[in-house]
Amino acid sequence: MKSTGQTRWGLAIAGWAVALGMFFPILWMFLTSFKTEITAVATPPAVFFHPTLENYFAVLERADYLAFARNSVAVSLGSTLLALALAIPAAYSMAFFPTRRTRDILLWMISTKMLPAVGVLVPIYLLWRDFGLLDTLFGLILIDSLSVLPIVVWMLFSYFREVPAVILEASRMDGATQAEELFHVLLPLCTPGIAATALLSIILCWNEAFWSLNLATVKAATLTAFTASFSSPEGLFWAKLSAASTLSIAPILIFGWISQRQMVRGLSFGAVK
């Protein structure tokens, strides 16, 4: 049953009102990034103004912005690769050679996500200090990859399980080794699923705030820490804050939009496909 013309328009108005309302803060930030510092704080707020790119130049010229951005890229890619390297064999083994304990292992894996980060802040801080991992990229990569690992395993597991075991058995009959079976048969078949998993992991690591703010404050600090530094009096520079924020969220927002339908299964631990 298609809705009639009138209700359709009513729905459209309501839908767009909600969408624009939710998106407004991001839009407002985006607009502010093209204002001068003076128009940014103007009352009444300036809606029409002469756009300028000076804030973007100012942010990019601050050499440290690029250092923070590089750290963010290194941490989110590094953690994702490490998590995938650990998770792909594990998910493969559980999806195609399930044992009586597979179910318990999967559940135990998410249960590690239930451990609130604050509960282990103190020991992790001290361990990282003693091993010289505080404020290093590797230290942050290690902790981020461990915290996304359960989600990555679950998501890959649910994609792998959709591959009919017959296909793998056929390759086995042809004499393929387990490594060949994994790399030449399964992974090519699951490329879209692996890509969606990688994107979700990149997004989570990019936006991760708790460990970044507590364990990496100077040399390995990411964009999360960089933007947090604007909470001090520097935050009065709204236009520059907006430009820096826009640069920091744009790539991730686009990744999120691309992979939104696929990432549902990772985020809901398979409850919604």
Partner 1 sequence: MSRDAASKPARHLHSRSLLAPSVAALFLWMVVPLAMTLWFSAERYNLLNPGKTAFAGWQNYRDLLTHRALWVAMGNTLFLVGLVLAITLVFGTLFSLLLDQDFPGRNICRLLVIAPFFVMPTVSALIWKNMLMNPVFGLFAWITRSLGFGAIEFFSRMPLLSIVLIIGWEWTPFAVLILLPALQSLNPEQVEAARLDGAGPLALFRHIELPHLLRPMAVVAMIEMIFFLSLFAEIYVTTGGGPGLASTNLAYLIFRDALLGWDVGRASAGGVIAIILANIVSLFLMRVVGRNLEDLP
DSSP 45: P
Q: Smaller CB distance to partner 1: residue 87 or 137?
A: 87
Closest alpha carbon to 199 in 271, 251, 137: 251
Strand positions, DSSP E, the chain: none
Q: How far is the CB of 76 from partner 1 (least distance, A)?
A: 11
CA dihedral 56, 61, 64, 67 (to 10 degrees): 80
Q: How far is the CB of 112 from partner 1 (least distance, A)?
A: 5
Inter-axis angle of helices 137-160 and 238-267, to 10 degrees?
A: 40
Q: Smaller CB distance to partner 1: residue 185 or 223?
A: 223
Q: In whole angstroms, what is the distance from residue 76 CA to residue 167 CA? A: 33
**Residue written as token pair 């839009």:** 27
Q: Smaller CB distance to partner 1: residue 94 or 137?
A: 94
Q: Smaller CB distance to partner 1: residue 57 or 108?
A: 108
Q: How far is the CB of 35 from partner 1 (least distance, A)?
A: 11
Q: In whole angstroms, what is the distance from residue 169 CA to residue 78 CA? A: 33
Q: In whole angstroms, what is the distance from residue 48 CA to residue 128 CA? A: 50
**Residue written as token pair 């049953």:** 1
Q: Smaller CB distance to partner 1: residue 189 or 210?
A: 210
Q: Smaller CB distance to partner 1: residue 60 or 264?
A: 264
Q: Smaller CB distance to partner 1: residue 94 or 220?
A: 94
Q: How far is the CB of 222 from partner 1 (least distance, A)?
A: 9
Would you say 120 and 188 are in contact if contact means Cβ atoms under 8 Å apart? no
Other Cβ atoms less than 10 A from the Cβ of 70: the count is: 13
Q: How far is the CB of 210 from partner 1 (least distance, A)?
A: 5
Q: How far is the CB of 203 from partner 1 (least distance, A)?
A: 6
Q: Smaller CB distance to partner 1: residue 99 or 191?
A: 99
Q: In whole angstroms, what is the distance from residue 215 CA to residue 136 CA? A: 8
Q: How far is the CB of 51 from partner 1 (least distance, A)?
A: 17
Q: How far is the CB of 211 from partner 1 (least distance, A)?
A: 10
Would you say 28 and 39 are in contact if contact means Cβ atoms under 8 Å apart? no
What is the widest separation between alpha-carbon atoms in the chain?
74
What residues have CB less than 8 Å from 240, skipping those under 6 apart? 37, 55, 58, 59
